[in-house]
Amino acid sequence: MTASAAVAEPPPAFSLGRRVMILVAVMLGSTLYATTLLIASTLLPQMQGAMSATQDEIAWAMTFNILATAVVTPMTGWLVARFGRRNVMVWSVFAFSAMTFLCGAAESLEALVLWRILQGGLGAPVIPLSQTILLDSFPKRQAGMVTSIFGMAVVIGPVIGPTVGGLLSELYSWRWAFYMVVPVGLLSFVGLRLTLPPDAPTGRTTLDWTGFLSLSVAIAGVQLVLSRGQRLDWFESPEIVIEALVAGLAFYVFLAHSLTAKSPFLNLRLLLDRNYALGLILVAIYGMLNFTPMVLLPPLLQQHAGFPDRLIGEVIAARGVGATFGFFLTIFIGRLDPRIGLIGGFGLQVASGLWLMNINLEVDMGTLMANSVLQGIAVGVIWVPLTLATFATIETRHLAETTAVYHLLRNIGSSFFISFCVAEIVRATGANYGRMVELINPFNPVLSLPVVTGGWSIDSVTGLARLAKEINRQAAMIGYLNAFGMYTLASALAVPVILFVAGRARARHV
């Protein structure tokens, strides 16, 4: 039996009180990942200065954390079969908390990235296991309600985390934003040990190492290409060419092995289920949209718009407020066809993207918070119908594997799209800076206009330095607007895919 096929035995029926205790304990543990990710996105500018890193280098603290989560997530089924669901859940939360402490104690960029990788990898089983535990612990008729409650509770951490983290980083340093998560993690560890029912491993299992390693190498290779391509001039660099070739070869090995092996790491035949296959596409797009603004906005607001960390934390937290409201809306939308909620949610993402494409460096706090709330509402509205539609026709014995792949695609979408956007910002900033400085010369009549001469001067080194800084700000803003345009396009591309999803009545008979 392989990792993909290994599923823990469902727990016995519980009383209502025991189910509520399990729900609370599981929610507390799963909230940690989203909270830490949002806190890290808020702290990127401070960490960049402390580590003397460039923007694309400090982005590794986000992208490699998500990448590590994506690589380890498909192993969840094998880990459960080998060690038991309770052990995997409890010790994943403990290890995640320990790595969070080490992230705060990191003294170099290399150490920070290492601990972030271990943080993502060791905590990876928490999210898919949380969903599997809840779906197994509650009757199927309550799946929608439990998913909604779970989603609403999970956004409580992202509401509080960035705000408190931003305040602590201003009062003390960015390290304390990580340290504050550790006590909550330990509390979650104790709660899970007391509430989760004991279970035995389903037996000694064999991990399909060929499938696992080939998929991991393919994902890591693509991530390295995206993260380092802009700095190394893409395929002009031998390193990028080698990484791309290795990633392509590894993915070919993964596909060939998965389609021919008797017990592959991931069962690709499950993709014959239409709703599940379309759900994976949509959740990848959902992942692309979910975290990208939270990674891009903090450096834009701090480095170019002059926002303090506390206000940046409030902007990110407003997204959690919107998500809470969005999950409340799903209580009513859930009674309708899932496609209605999906189209509405992705439509709100398109609207928020178009709004971001029209901001400038003079943007006010009210506009940013309103847009962040709108994004949060979209996230909340999408999640429940997307989850229900994706797993509507999946048998219970495949839940461990399919939920792992579901969250794998969500994390891969986030990691890859963040890298695409950061690469575009770096490219566009350099290109537009080069074009604009060509216009700064004594023969440009625009520079002699009264509106310009009052604020800028090219007659001194100080004046040229001030002007160069302003040109860099505006060039960077163009890069961010391009990234927001990519965000909007991805949101719009999800709508045609939704039209092919089977409705509730048809899904029961697929």
Average pLDDT over residues 368-394: 88
Q: Say what the pLDDT of residue 155 is.
A: 60
Q: How many CA atoms lie within 13 A of 299 on its CB side?
A: 27
Domain end call among 226, 247, 262: 262
60 lies in some domain = yes
Number of domains into which the chain is organized: 2
Q: Which one of 241, 262, 283 terminates a domain?
A: 262
C-alpha 73/C-alpha 411 separation (Å) is: 9
Residue 58 clears pLDDT 90, i.e. is over it: no
Q: Which residue has the higher pLDDT, 143 or 252?
A: 252
Q: Answer yes or no: is pLDDT of 36 > 80.
A: no
**Is residue 291 in some structural domain?**
yes
Q: What tens digit of pLDDT does each residue of 86-108 get?
A: 889 889 989 999 999 999 999 88
Query: What pLDDT sits at residue 192?
Result: 83
**Which of 136-145, 223-232, 237-246 is least confident?**
136-145
Is residue 151 in some structural domain? yes
Whether the Cβ atoms of residue 215 and residue 11 lie closer than 8 Å to each other: no
Q: Examine the fold and report which residue of 228, 244, 262 is the final residue of a domain before the chain moves on.
A: 262
140 lies in the same domain as 191: yes
Q: Are residues 256 and 399 in the same domain?
A: no
State mean pLDDT over 26-46: 75
Range 174-194 burial, b when 16+ CB lie within 10 A, else e: bbebbbbbeebbeebbebbbe
**Based on the domain organization, do 98 and 247 belong to the same domain?**
no
| Same domain assignment for residues 258 and 268 | no
The rounded mean pLDDT for the chain is 82
Q: Name the token pair of 91.
A: 């010790």
Taking 50 as the threshold, does the pLDDT of residue 418 lie above it? yes
The percentage of residues in the chain with a pLDDT greater than 70, rounded to a whole number, is 88
111 and 142 inside one domain: yes
Evaluate whether 111 touches 47 at the Cβ level (below 8 Å): no
Residue 375 sits in a domain whose CATH number is: 1.20.1250.20
Give the per-residue pLDDT at 6.
38
Same-domain check for residues 230 and 334: no
- Which pLDDT score is estimated for 253? 95
Domain assignment present for 462: no
Q: Is residue 402 part of a domain?
A: yes
pLDDT grade for 391, boundaries at 50, 70 and 90: confident
Chain segment 60-86, per-residue pLDDT in tens:
887 788 778 777 877 887 888 788 888
Count Cα atoms within 13 angstroms, Cβ side, for 116.
Answer: 26
pLDDT of residue 508: 44
Same domain, 117 and 243: no
pLDDT at residue 421 above 50? yes
Whole-Å CA distances, 305 to 139, 299, 369, 470 = 50, 9, 15, 11
Answer yes or no: is 6 within a domain.
no
pLDDT band at 245 (very low <50, low <70, confident <90, very high): very high
In terms of domains, do 218 and 95 share one? no
Number of alpha carbons in the 13 Å side-chain half-sphere of residue 319: 30
The tokens describing 466, both together, are 């001030």
Question: Residue 69 has what pLDDT?
Answer: 78
Report the C-alpha gap between 26 and 20 in whole angstroms: 10
Flag whether 406 is in a domain: yes
Q: Which residue has the higher pLDDT, 62 or 483?
A: 483
Longest CA–CA separation in the chain, Å: 82
Residues of the domain holding 64: 16-208+263-431+474-507
| pTM, to two decimals | 0.77
Residues 135 and 240 in one domain: no
Which long-range contacts link 469-473 to residues 24+ away (Cβ below 8 Å)? 471/433, 471/436, 471/437, 471/440, 472/429, 472/433, 473/304, 473/361
Whole-number pLDDT of residue 214: 92
Answer yes or no: do 88 and 215 share one domain.
Answer: no
pLDDT tens digit sequence for 348-364: 999 999 999 999 999 99
For residue 372, tell me if it sits in a domain: yes
Two structure tokens written together for 266: 């991931």
Q: Looking at the predicted structure, is the pLDDT value of residue 167 above 80?
A: no
- 487: pLDDT strictly greater than 70: yes
| Highest mean pLDDT, choosing among 108-122, 409-423, 483-497 | 483-497
Do 133 and 89 meet the contact criterion of CB atoms below 8 Å apart?
Answer: yes
Asked if residue 376 lies in contact with residue 325, where contact means CB atoms within 8 angstroms, the answer is: yes
Same domain? For 295 and 271 the reply is: yes
- Identify whether residues 196 and 213 lie together within a single domain: no
Average pLDDT over residues 366-379: 92
**Cα separation, 171 vs 173, whole angstroms:** 7
pLDDT band of residue 510 (cuts 50, 70, 90) is very low
Per-residue pLDDT band for 129 (boundaries 50, 70, 90) equals confident
* Cβ atoms 103, 115 nearer than 8 A: yes
